[in-house]
Chain A
Amino acid sequence: MKFVDEFRDAELGRALAGEILSLVESGRHYKFMEVCGGHTHSIYKYGVDDLLPANVELVHGPGCPVCVIPMGRVDDGIALAHEPGVVFTCFGDMMRVPGSNGSLLDAKAAGADVRMVYSPLDALRIARQNPDREVVFFAIGFETTAPSTALTLKRARAEGVTNFSCMCSHVTIVPPLRALLESPDLRLDGFIGPGHVSTVVGARPFEFIPADYGKPVVIAGFEPLDILQAITMILRQLGDGQCEVENQYKRVVPYEGNLRALEVMAEVFELRPHFEWRGLGFISHSGLKLSEAYAELDAEQRFSVPGVRVADPKACQCGEVLKGVIKPWECKVFGTACTPERPIGTCMVSSEGACAAYYNFGRFAREREVV
């Protein structure tokens, strides 16, 4: 594939691995967090871990949009999906996330009309094609996906589509990062910054990480060479005693972000006072809801949503995994009670989740030779 394979070149990968080896101090252990689930996925998919020296450790961060949705929110979605006349639409990997009593896939099997969409516009199209049904879109994701939800809502209003609404569970990237950095048990040397989110918000919002917490951030693309290059850039900063936000993903990320996307988001959404995150608890000003101007398209106002709070399962340690405090396999239920086919925590659900990625791709490739 043109313009893709170039970023997966094994020879360049080996060269970068050599460079990384020359940049690490022996005797020092480096822990870098890749914030975004897309990075976690790439790291396992390509076996990037295998090219790193022993003392460079990657910690998987909270940037998997599916993984951070709390159980109560899934239950609310399922309740909505069971409302008579409702077509409930959501992204594919959201369908498998367990609520306290099954997932959206189970709700579908039980008779709810749950449909997978690739884009919120697909949900709007379903609404147009089924004027006698109420179509609800379960909007999730960071600033990466929020603008497309915003544009869809704008279009729904412009076209006067009245049977479409949105259950907004969009979240923002900075508050959870700040919460992580405030956590006393966290030990990190630097961050691989989220590439897709940054295409929208730009690099500037991450400046507080070097400024307030003294950790370097390198915003990176999702191809294996991007990730290796970002690691060399972090190591260089550490070696030179520098600490700043750098942009490895310049081919896509403008430093100031996408102003038009930010404008649309500001028009359609407003911050919730609090939003609950799976494993991280309530974080102030971390979630989005529809603004007053779009209230009539808000599924939470159109329907009675139970809004039940469900505590994370006791055995589940997704929170610690998300904080990078423990490795997936260190969780009490990893691989035994909690597996991709029967996930307890959301980190096991999406292939981007740290646990699923480790279970599927990392489990044996790491540390073991094939005989």
Chain B
Amino acid sequence: MTPESRMTPAASSRGEPGRRADASGSVISDREQKILGIIETARSKRAKFRDAQITMAHGAGGKATQGLIEGLFVPAFGGSALEEMADAGAVALGGAELVMTTDSYVVKPLRFPGGSIGELAVNGTVNDLAVSGARPLALSLSMILEEGLSADELRAEVEAIAAAARAAGVEIVTGDTKVVERGHADGMYICTTGVGRRDPRATVSPASLRPGDRILLSGPVGDHGTAIMLARGEFELDASIESDTRSLWPAVDALLDAAGPAVRCMRDATRGGVASVLNELARASSVAMIVREGDVPVEPAVAGAAEILGIDPMYVANEGKMVVFVAAEAADEALAALRGIEGCERATEIGEVRTEPPGMVLVRTSFGGRRVMDQLVGDPLPRIC
């Protein structure tokens, strides 16, 4: 890519609102261009793991997490399934293709408006299978329990797990229990592993996005993460915000029926939110994306809480929302199919895939400007003023 090819074609329209140039009259100076090039190259490289110790940022789903996975885990374990870094890995078994995924749940508090750790532990793993284009079949269940956990709390979670598994149509086929001393495990941690069968209608891959593809979102963002933050009671904010935890398989099923091969990729927008999904896939497919901020649905209460806390809902976790990339010609059918599913009634198109600059997600703000929507760095730390 030459520097020229990056310039806006609007160099001659200086002085109009919406266009910018520096004092020298060039749209962007060579020096700045060079620096931006260096940053772009650095970003597109596989992340390294150079930290001296694990901090909370390594678990937040942003750049530090990426560094840990790409810099330590993938090089150590190799393998083509892992290399793809999808939500689930494929295992060929005779004629059938099985898909496998695993996830741990450490949410605090255990119960929150709209759900609980048990329900999450089923839906989260089921959703990783579903968005990989696999019909969820079976789950394993490992529980790490803290000494002193009340039997009633445990019973409530076991019931929540059973109910969520029934609703998602998966069977719990094996399990394990460990108890750790008081002071560890925050009541309980749960780990579930899921197995599913690849759906023949699905041809999804993180590297398959093409310029022109449409970006669909299955509903309002930020509910789960905001509900959890408020449930912790640290902010003295009151709002009726409920977690959106639910199985996404019915939505995936409908989507594959309506748009099958036109569905390029699906991702459930959990930790790190929609912004992290978009960034990951922009990099994986080496494409640009443009998101229309005004089209992203956010519940007013979530928007209000995010505004007060100085957090962008696009980076907040969801537990029942997915981002779908679909070929332009099938976008309307896909959207209609999604909207017919409970929990996805407010599905909408939020943007599209472009060519340049590769690996970048850009936002057209509601106010009429543009900016970069970058990967999350560290935990989302609130601004002070």
The residues of A with any CB-CB pair to B shorter than 8 Å are 1, 4, 8, 10, 13-14, 17-18, 20-21, 26, 29, 37-38, 41, 44-55, 57, 65-66, 91-96, 105-106, 108-110, 116, 118, 122, 140-141, 144-145, 196, 224, 327, 329-330, 334-336, 339-341, 350-352, 359-371
B369 within 8 A of A: yes
| A352→B382 CA distance, assembly (Å) | 11
Asked if B82 is at the interface of the complex by the 8 Å CB criterion, the answer is: no
Work out how many contacts link A and B, with CB atoms closer than 8 A. 199
A106 CA / B288 CA spacing, docked (Å): 34
Contacts A362-B371, A369-B9 given; indicate if A329 touches B36 (C-beta within 8 A): yes
Q: Decide if B366 touches A8 in the complex (CB within 8 Å).
A: yes
Q: Which of A38, A55, A360, A362 contacts B385 (CB 8 A)?
A: A38
CA distance A365 to B36 in the complex (A): 12
B55 near A14 (CB under 8 angstroms)?
no
Query: Does the CB pair B20–A54 fall under 8 Å?
Result: yes
Interface residues of B in 27-68 (CB under 8 A from A): 27-28, 31-32, 35-36, 38-39, 42, 52-57, 63-64, 67
Q: Is the CB of B39 within 8 A of A360?
A: no
Q: A47-B367, A53-B16 are in contact. List 9 more A-B contacts (CB 8 A).
A: A1-B304, A10-B366, A17-B18, A47-B371, A92-B383, A105-B378, A140-B384, A341-B377, A365-B369
User: Within the complex, which residue of A8, A110, A365 is in contact with B372, where a contact is CB–CB below 8 Å?
Assistant: A365
Q: Tell me the B5-31 residues at the A interface (CB within 8 Å).
A: 6-10, 14-23, 27-28, 31
Contact A351 B383 (CB under 8 A): yes
Chain B residues with CB under 8 A of A339:
39, 42
B307 at the interface (CB under 8 A from A): yes
Q: Please name all residues of chain A whose beta carbon is closer than 8 Å to the beta carbon of B36 when the two chains form the complex.
A: 329, 335, 363-364
> In whole angstroms, what is the CA distance A137 to B130 when docked?
47
Q: A51-B18, A366-B20 are in contact. Are A46 and B369 (CB under 8 A)?
A: yes
Partner of A93, one of B23, B304, B371, B383: B383
Looking at the assembled complex, report how far the CB atom of A331 sits from the nearest CB atom of chain B, in whole angstroms. 9
Q: Residue B356 at the A interface, CB < 8 A?
A: yes
Name B374's contact: one of A20, A65, A94, A360 (CB within 8 Å): A360
B371 close to A365 (CB less than 8 A): yes
- Which among B117-125, B321-329, B357-365 touches the partner chain? B357-365
Q: Determine which of B6, B8, B53 lies in contact with A110 in the assembled complex, contact meaning CB atoms within 8 Å.
A: B53
Q: Which residues of A contact B367 (CB under 8 A)?
A: 8, 10, 13, 46-48, 51, 224
Determine the distance from Cα of A46 to Cα of B67 in the docked complex, in whole angstroms: 29
In the complex, 16 of the A-B residue pairs with CB atoms within 8 angstroms, ordered by the A residue number, are A1-B307, A38-B385, A51-B368, A92-B384, A105-B57, A145-B385, A341-B378, A359-B39, A359-B374, A364-B36, A365-B369, A366-B20, A366-B28, A367-B28, A370-B370, A371-B355
Query: Which residues of the partner chain B approach A20 to less than 8 Å between Cβ atoms?
Result: 17
Residues A14 and B368 in contact, CB atoms below 8 Å apart: yes
Q: A105-B56, A364-B362 are in contact. Are A370 and B368 (CB under 8 A)?
A: no
- CB of B151 closer than 8 Å to a CB of A: no
Q: Would you give the shortest CB distance from B38 to chain A, in whole angstroms?
A: 6
The distance from the CB of A27 to the nearest CB of chain B, in whole angstroms, is 10
State whether the Cβ of B224 lies closer than 8 Å to any Cβ in chain A: no
Report chain A residues within 8 Å CB of B22. 54, 57
Provide the residues of chain B in CB contact with A54, threshold 8 Å. 14-15, 19-22
Once bound together, how far apart are the Cα atoms of A14 and B369, in whole Å?
Answer: 10
In the complex, the answer to whether B16 meets A46 with C-beta atoms within 8 Å is: no
Q: Which residues of A contact B370 (CB under 8 A)?
A: 47, 50, 365, 370
A52: contacting residue among B17, B56, B382, CB under 8 A: B17
B35 touches A352 (CB 8 A): no
Q: Across the interface, name the chain B residue whose C-beta is closest to A4.
A: B307
A-B pairs with lowest CB-CB distance, top 3 = A47-B369, A92-B381, A50-B369
Q: Which residues of B contact A359 (CB under 8 A)?
A: 39, 374
Residue of A nearest to B300 (CB): A1
Q: Complex Cα distance A172/B21, Å?
A: 35
List of B residues within 8 angstroms of A45 by Cβ:
365, 371
Known: A144-B385, A365-B371. A47 touches B365 (CB 8 A): yes
Question: Do A370 and B354 have beta carbons less than 8 Å apart?
Answer: yes
Is there contact, CB below 8 Å, between A1 and B357? no
Contact (Cβ within 8 A) A367 B368: no
Contact B17 A341 (CB under 8 A): no
- Whether A105 lies near B368 (C-beta < 8 A) is no
A16 closest partner in B (C-beta):
B17
Q: Which residue of chain B lies nearest to A348 when distances are taken between CB atoms in the complex?
A: B377
In the bound complex, residues from chain A placing their C-beta under 8 Å from that of B38 are 335-336
Cβ of B32 and Cβ of A329 under 8 Å apart? yes
| With known contacts A55-B23, A66-B384, A93-B383, A106–B55 Cβ distance under 8 A | yes
| B235 interfacial contact with A, CB 8 Å | yes
CB distance B384 to A50 under 8 Å? no
Q: B351 to nearest A CB, angstroms?
A: 10
CB-based nearest B residue for A228: B367
Q: How far is the CA of A359 from the CA of B36 in the complex (A)?
A: 9
Within 8 A of A (CB), among B279-332: 288, 290, 300, 303-304, 307
A352 / chain B contacts, CB cutoff of 8 Å = 383
> Is A13 a contact partner of B368 (Cβ separation < 8 A)?
yes
With A95-B381, A96-B378 already in contact, the answer to whether A17 and B9 are too (CB < 8 A) is: no
* Residues of B contacting A334 in the complex (Cβ-Cβ under 8 angstroms): 35
Q: Is A370 a contact partner of B378 (Cβ separation < 8 A)?
A: no
* Known contacts A8-B366, A54-B19: A108-B383 contact under CB 8 Å: no
Q: What's the minimum C-beta distance from A365 to chain B, rounded to whole angstroms?
A: 4
* CA–CA, A48 and B366, complex, Å: 11
Q: Which of B19, B372, B382 contacts A360 (CB 8 A)?
A: B372
Are B8 and A367 interface neighbours, CB within 8 A? yes
Give Cα A108 to B111, complex, Å: 27
Q: Which of A10, A92, A140, A145 contacts B382 (CB 8 A)?
A: A92
